[in-house]
Amino acid sequence: MRIKLFLLLLFTIVITSSIFAQSEEHTHDHEHDEEAEVHHHEHPGSEIGVGNSIIYFAKEKEFAYGFHIHYVKSIPNSKLGIGFGYERIFDEHGHNTFGPELVYRPIEKLSVSFSPGVTLEDEHPEAKFAAHIETSYEFELHDFHIGPAVGFAYDAEDHHFSIGIHIGYGF
């Protein structure tokens, strides 16, 4: 069952990426060369983003569903943003992770976020240090962007990998 869920998510990412890539190519065909030369993409001042992922716990060798939401404010005239994020993993432990989020955009559509924070489990609500790093590639559609995301997270008891879809709204 879990492998089917993983394959479905992977298929969705590939199809979505292809559709948005074709949409981007079409819009660029109509730009003038002069406009393309002076065109500089400025990321929106603020973003609310969500992520849906399949999580793989390395020590437990188990899969789970993960949901992430964040708010990030871009730092003007830089490739950086800062904000706050929350992740919920729907597994037997009920992981809840909170933390500040630092985002770096090395190139126009690629973002890398780092979030040190704390993890609380449903049954054992003692705070434990956690750190997340995630990379996503964005295809834009007006004020929205969507694309594949991969991540790695560490906490004192385990570490996990994730693959999923990031959807954001910039304003």
Which CATH number goes with the domain that contains 142? 2.40.160.20
Q: Tally the domains of the chain.
A: 1
Domain contains 135 = yes
**pLDDT, position 167:** 97
Domain contains 166 = yes
Residue 164: other Cβ atoms inside 10 A: 25
Rounded Cα–Cα distance for residues 9 and 87 (Å): 18
Domain contains 63 = yes
- Could you tell me the pTM of the whole model? 0.74
- Span 43-86, pLDDT tens digits: 689 999 999 999 999 999 999 999 999 999 999 999 999 999 99
In three-state secondary structure terms, 41 is coil
Domain that holds residue 114: 42-170
Domain contains 104 = yes
Q: Is 134 exposed, middle or buried (0-12, 13-18, 19+ CB in 10 A)?
A: buried
Residue 115: other Cβ atoms inside 10 A: 25
